[in-house]
Structure 1
């Protein structure tokens, strides 16, 4: 009987010790979980604040760029030199191409990538209105649906702006009717191709795309190099501009 009682006490002691150990362990785990929850809450707050700040930055950049465009437009009213006026107008279009990027980022859920079909469409509409060509030049778009980050969307937007602007200004003299076709395709192996062509008068016989003093041509070459792209200008029943580039989404993260 004594042995039974002794064994019972030992068992009860072990059970109590196990209970207390489990209680202490649960308390430690609860404390750790509370700390993790606090840190997660703090991190979520930081993420929200970061997104708000980025959105506000894009909003302010867009507003500042619009202000610059407005100042340039005001400046043209005091200029009599046609070349100077044209240079300012070209600068306005370049700034608008960048401003539209920041506007779309500010308005979208994502703060780092651009929906290319939407961006190209809106930039095209802006250029149509800027040059007042809706009744003379038809622009045909064929754009695949994909997103690109700022590192690629800004250079491509500026190249697009230069190419379309040149086609509008030079391909159809004397306000002739014409067609500009624009294609942006995701091919394969992370390769993308932008083609902008027109059915205008084509390039001059002595045109050298690699040694041309034009700011627009130099800008397109430089921007293509920024994204390791291959840039070509050719005569093909008009002028044809081709940009090939590689973008690997995994490497951009």
Structure 2
């Protein structure tokens, strides 16, 4: 419902910057909406299977950017279940990272790929990786950004007590390592 209200508001706005801000807010709301949809459809109350969630999230964001015909989202990861609170934070972070890739990584390119994975590490920490094969981004640039999306990612990373790193590897690779229990 909130997403629909934002869409109605966006249709009345002519300023491209305001439209972009409304679209970003709409995608954030959709990110949380998908989690609640998966929660109601799932087998475990209070738990979300993340691979399926990432696939749905990616599809929704691609559609909102009208990029589904040129950008592919892959989720090469095993099934992994998270509690709802952790899933919301990870989902919002992933939403921001996919959005950044779509906005900046594929400028001047006809196609590209974004890969998302969340895996349990040997020390029981979790590693979220969002990578694109776009034009790349220097790690120094990530530190200097002050947009709302960047602030949101930093805030949620702190909330997860995680560590966020940016790398250039045939595009941009963002890693978030954090300790959270996985529901089995």
Q: Given the two structures, how large is their TM-score scaled by the length of structure 1? A: 0.68
Any idea what SS the aligned residue of 2:91 has? helix
Residue 197 of structure 1 corresponds to 131
1:7-66 per-position Cα deviation (integer Å, ceiling 9, x unaligned): xxxxxxxxxxxxxxxxxxxxxxxxxxxxxxxxxxxxxxxxxxxxxxxxxxxxxxxxxxxx
Which of 146, 161, 164 is matched with 1:228 structurally?
A: 161
Alpha-carbon separation, structure 2, partners of 1:135 and 1:151: 33
Any idea what SS the aligned residue of 2:143 has? coil
Is the 2:128–2:177 Cα contact (8 Å) retained in structure 1? yes
Bigger mean CA deviation after superposition, 84-93 or 193-202:
193-202
Q: Could you list the runs of 4 or more consecutive aligned residues of structure 1 that deviate by over 4 angstroms after TM superposition?
A: none
Residue 210 of structure 1 corresponds to 143
1:67-113 per-position Cα deviation (integer Å, ceiling 9, x unaligned): 11111101111111100000000000000000111111122232211
Which of 102, 125, 146 is matched with 2:80 structurally?
A: 146
Alpha-carbon separation, structure 2, partners of 1:114 and 1:205: 31
Q: Which has the higher contact order (CA 8 A, sep 6+)?
A: 2
Which of 93, 99, 120 is matched with 2:33 structurally?
A: 99
Residue 99 of structure 2 corresponds to 165
1:109-134 per-position Cα deviation (integer Å, ceiling 9, x unaligned): 32211111111111112122222222
Alpha-carbon separation, structure 1, partners of 2:140 and 2:53: 35
Question: Could you list the runs of 5+ residues in structure 2 that have no partner in the other structure?
Answer: none
Structure 1 residue 159: Cα displacement? 0.6
Query: Which one has the bigger strand percentage?
Result: 2
Structure 1 residue 248: Cα displacement? 3.0
Any idea what SS the aligned residue of 1:174 has? coil
* Correspondences of 1:44-63 after superposition (within 5 Å): none
Is the 1:144–1:186 Cα contact (8 Å) retained in structure 2? no
Question: Could you list the runs of 5+ residues in structure 1 that have no partner in the other structure?
Answer: 1-66
Structure 1 residue 174: Cα displacement? 3.5
Alpha-carbon separation, structure 1, partners of 2:8 and 2:170: 39
Is the 2:55–2:73 Cα contact (8 Å) retained in structure 1? no
Residue 244 of structure 1 corresponds to 177
Instruction: Please tell me the root mean square deviation across aligned C-alpha atoms, in Å.
Output: 1.8
Is the 1:136–1:175 Cα contact (8 Å) retained in structure 2? no
* Correspondences of 1:32-43 after superposition (within 5 Å): none
Alpha-carbon separation, structure 2, partners of 1:173 and 1:104: 33
Is the 2:96–2:149 Cα contact (8 Å) retained in structure 1? yes
Any idea what SS the aligned residue of 1:180 has? strand
Aligned length in residues = 183
